[in-house]
Structure formats: C-alpha cells, structure tokens
Structure 1
C-alpha cells in the first residue's frame, strides 16, 4: 500500500476528485492548508494598502491505494491539477505499512 499526498490549487479539487473516483478510488481526506514553494507568495492590495501574502491557500489531498493503483492515481492527479502555471503543486508518494478498518477489523488492502 502507498499513501499519495497531493498539494493542489483549491479550484482543482473537484476535477481531481472526479478523476480519482473514475479509477475506482473512493476514499480521500481533504485538508485546507497554507504554504509556499517556488511561488514564494504574492502582493495584494487592500483598501489602498499593499501587503505581501507569504503563504498561499492550497488543498492537501491524501489517498491510500494499493500498489497497483499508485501510478494511475498519480497520473490522474497530475493531469487534472495541472494549469501550466507556477504553484500547481506537488505529489508525494510514501510507503504505508498497514491499514485497519475500525468497524470490521479488516487489514491491508481489504481495509481500503
């Protein structure tokens, strides 16, 4: 099993959800996060005053999948989250030792 974490632009969430669901992956955790990378924030104006926004609003999507589904899920996220502009985000894949479904006690892939 692997854990796929993607940091994406907020307006891309629905497209990513649809793409991943079309692959038969139905569970995901979504968190609103703030951060920066190469984008390094931006300047905004509010009531005539200019200020720097250092941390950009993003969405963190976490999905646990079997090893066989990692590549299709990563490609689906990459394809749908891409806008060809700086700040599109990142995808991280980590090994996951086990998963346990609390209700039934199922473990491993059966718990997904």
Structure 2
C-alpha cells in the first residue's frame, strides 16, 4: 500500500481530477498549498515570463519601479506560489498507472513548475465506517 502525494499547478486541478478518475482511482483528497521549487535561471524561460508580466502591469496605476520590484520578487526565490496537493492511497501495483496519469495531465512546455510527485509506503489504513483495514480500506 502506498500514498501518492502530487503537487500541481492550481490551473491543473481539474485536469488532474479527471485523470485520476479515468485512471480508476476510487478516492483522493485535494487541498490548497503554497510552495516553490528550484530557482529558474534559464533566460529562455525567464525572458518570456518577464515580458508577459510587464504587459500585465497596469501602467496607469503603478510606476515602473514598482512594476520592476513586483516582477523581480515574482521571478526570484522570495515568492511562494499557490499549488494544489493531491493525496491518493493506492495498491502497490496501481502506483505506476496513477503516477503516469498525473504526469500526463500536468506536463507543460514551460520548462519549469509542472509539479512534483512523491510515493511513500503506508503501514495501514482503516475505513472508519466499517472498521476494515489494510488493502480492503483503500478501494
């Protein structure tokens, strides 16, 4: 028995939910989370992101220095980003299928920030309603 923890972009919540259901996952939990990964220093990723952020800035409301400060804090390692954390309990043999479904739903061409998946062992699970434990409590 394993626990799968998947941290994904907020905009990928619906796609992840759909992928899990299509993969036959009986149940899962999703919650809001914040965090950040490695600092990206690849100009091929940063320059288009910077340009997009500059276009989004309301020039009639804030000045250039404030825009620059907000962009820098967005792109450097000081900002936490909203994410969604999915937790899934699964039988050992189902883990590869579930992990692949999560990866397929969340992979982008952005080059960074697509998420992380962790798989950990679970000692036991108990279904509160029936008292079933072990694998019987999962699905």
Q: Do the structures match in fold with TM over 0.5?
A: yes
Note the residue ranges of structure 2 that are not aligned, 5 or more in a row: 41-48
Please say if residues 39 and 87 of structure 1, whose CA atoms lie closer than 8 Å, have aligned partners that are also in contact: no
Q: Which runs of 5+ in 1 are unaligned?
A: none
Q: Distance in 2 between matches of 1:24 and 1:8?
A: 19
Aligned in 2, Cα 1:39/1:31: closer, same or farther, shift over 3 Å?
Answer: farther
Post-superposition shift, 1:14? 1.1
Counterpart CA distance in 1 for 2:102 and 2:35 is: 19
The TM-score with structure 2 as length reference comes to 0.73
Point out which structure has higher relative CO (alpha carbons under 8 A, 6+ apart).
2
Query: For the aligned residues, what is the CA RMSD?
Result: 1.8
Find the counterpart in structure 2 of residue 106 from structure 1.
Answer: 132
**Matched residues in 2 for 1:22 and 1:83: separation?**
20
**Greater fraction helix:** 2
Shift in Å, 1:84:
2.4
Give the SS at the match of 2:32.
Answer: strand
